[in-house]
Structure 1
């Protein structure tokens, strides 16, 4: 967008945007030298592709696919001690390559690598994907990979929690206490700290609640926006209390501003088909929160 029109900046301000730099819309000001989401193609041309993510899923237009069978999670009960980091764009946790996921119509088995988060402002809407136009409080992507023919295959599980607009848990989700508590130690960019022993099984819904989902082909949601991602969007929610959600807004971007609105706006579907599993329903209630699982093919840059 034209900064002078949108931001009403003084005409004497000059702009020298770095083509390798990018930011979220919440960071963009006339004095902020970064490419906002509508100019991510300046940071990486792939961001202007025709199969970009995230998207809005219109449930009544989805097609049932019998190949979308239940997933098999292996070693998700495995306890590990991860490191949580403020990477300047989000919160990211590296996990050992012990846990794997298969089934669900996936062509192979994938190993867990890391997870990161996307959120709004003080517990408000902040998910990247939307369902029937509803934006939820948060997505927590879990990414895994397996090398094949020189490329990297990746998986992401996106967990959406509760929102003050939809459903807010009356009590904190104790399974996320360690992550929320660690945020105090990583408020600034590049700060990191160790998490207490945990497992991926603690952070996702039980397996029997992961049989209802949507699937489509898309991209990574940050530059370089590689269009080699198979997304699976789970229907079942993971609740967080309002205070837990709000804690993420206390983090800071690289410039010291509050780390809020860490999501890319939805992108045009451009004729792509979204499929649903046999357990998925066509209409999503207003109280439903979203959890998302994505598989990325050719992952070369996460952030």
Structure 2
């Protein structure tokens, strides 16, 4: 009987190991389920409101209710714990960091932030805009203030409020990111944790009242892929130098001890969802066209005057 139980335990362990989720690059090297197979292990990953998505700017709709967002506590100084979870690293945030306004149905309190990146300066963001993917994307995760934890909030279709910021390669170094990169270097292996002292979200995130954004209903971008997220993806990009980006890739290891690179989910189908914007997008499209028209007319009439 003992032998039978031991064999069953081994078989169960093998099944669990072979059925582990991973990112696309990992699935080519280890026996794990890549993004296209997540739905086999986690049915919610096959839902109709999945994230991330490709935002097609010509199809977004302006929503006048998407007024300025209000960030509370972003200027506060606090200590944050960073931990390597095996597939990414999370920085914990105090509940005093909050998000409200901007057409949100409630005030949301912060839980954590994390980053998604690619490899060698290539695509690494999860969301894309008109097919363009950025080298890195920051996600700040919040839950409605009435909930005690993320697990409870996921039972509410709008229980989670996530902010997405794209990073774009800059010729100049973003000095404020050095502390983040250094902190990641201290949690190289799964389960490692460290404390980053005297940190402010305002060091890496701009003032809310200066930001325009997209809004849509979606999901977590990792299993279980719960469809409980109100996504806010910002137009404005954040700077990072090429050397900083390279350093970021070298900091962490997956639970398999392989370099933690390519940690992003491919874009998912919209399935009829509408993406809204806080900006009157038709004005953004019309103005360049009008300017072009006036320039053309100026050139035409200018040439006619020269020939007469």
Name the TM-score, length of structure 1 as normaliser.
0.81
* 5+ long unaligned stretches in structure 2: 1-13, 154-158, 286-308
How many Å apart are 1:97 and its aligned residue? 0.8
Q: Which residue of 2 aligns with 1:159?
A: 165
Equivalent-residue separation in structure 1 for 2:262 and 2:131 (angstroms): 17
Contact 1:119 1:138 in 2 (8 A): yes
How many Å apart are 1:282 and its aligned residue? 5.4
Equivalent-residue separation in structure 2 for 1:49 and 1:117 (angstroms): 24
Q: State the Cα deviation string for residues 3-44 of structure 1 (Å, max 9, x = none).
A: xxxxxxxxxxxx9575852000010126x2211000001221
Equivalent-residue separation in structure 2 for 1:85 and 1:98 (angstroms): 20
Change (3 A) 1:218 1:102: same
Q: Which residue of 2 aligns with 1:182?
A: 183
What is the total number of aligned residue pairs between the two structures?
262
Q: State the Cα deviation string for residues 116-149 of structure 1 (Å, max 9, x = none).
A: 1100003321000000000001111111112558
Q: Which residue of 1 aligns with 2:64?
A: 66
Secondary structure of 1:161's match?
A: strand
Q: State the Cα deviation string for residues 244-276 of structure 1 (Å, max 9, x = none).
A: 111222121111111111000000111111111
Q: Which residue of 2 aligns with 1:143?
A: 141
How many Å apart are 1:176 and its aligned residue? 1.3
Q: Counterparts of 1:240-279 in structure 2 under 5 Å?
A: 240-250=240-250, 251-278=252-279
Contact 1:52 1:225 in 2 (8 A): yes
Equivalent-residue separation in structure 2 for 1:147 and 1:74 (angstroms): 13
Name the TM-score, length of structure 2 as normaliser.
0.80
Q: Which residue of 2 aligns with 1:111?
A: 109
Q: Which residue of 2 aligns with 1:54?
A: 52
Contact 1:92 1:115 in 2 (8 A): yes
Q: Which residue of 2 aligns with 1:201?
A: 202
Contact 1:24 1:37 in 2 (8 A): yes
Q: Which residue of 2 aligns with 1:21?
A: 20
Equivalent-residue separation in structure 2 for 1:19 and 1:218 (angstroms): 28
Q: State the Cα deviation string for residues 155-197 of structure 1 (Å, max 9, x = none).
A: 22222111xxxxx212211111110112222221111211131
With 96-105 and 16-25 compared, the bigger mean Cα shift is at 16-25
| Greater gyration radius | 2
* Structure with the higher helix share, 1 or 2: 2
Contact 1:115 1:156 in 2 (8 A): no
Equivalent-residue separation in structure 1 for 2:44 and 2:186 (angstroms): 35
Pairing partner for 1:37 from 24, 35, 44 = 35
Q: Counterparts of 1:73-152 in structure 2 under 5 Å?
A: 73-146=71-144, 148=146, 151-152=152-153
Q: State the Cα deviation string for residues 84-118 of structure 1 (Å, max 9, x = none).
A: 12111112100111111100000011111100110
Change (3 A) 1:51 1:131: same
Q: Which residue of 1 aligns with 2:214?
A: 214
Secondary structure of 2:40's match?
A: helix
* 5+ long unaligned stretches in structure 1: 1-14, 163-167, 284-303
1:230 is the counterpart of 2:225: no
Change (3 A) 1:282 1:255: farther
Contact 2:68 2:102 in 1 (8 A): yes
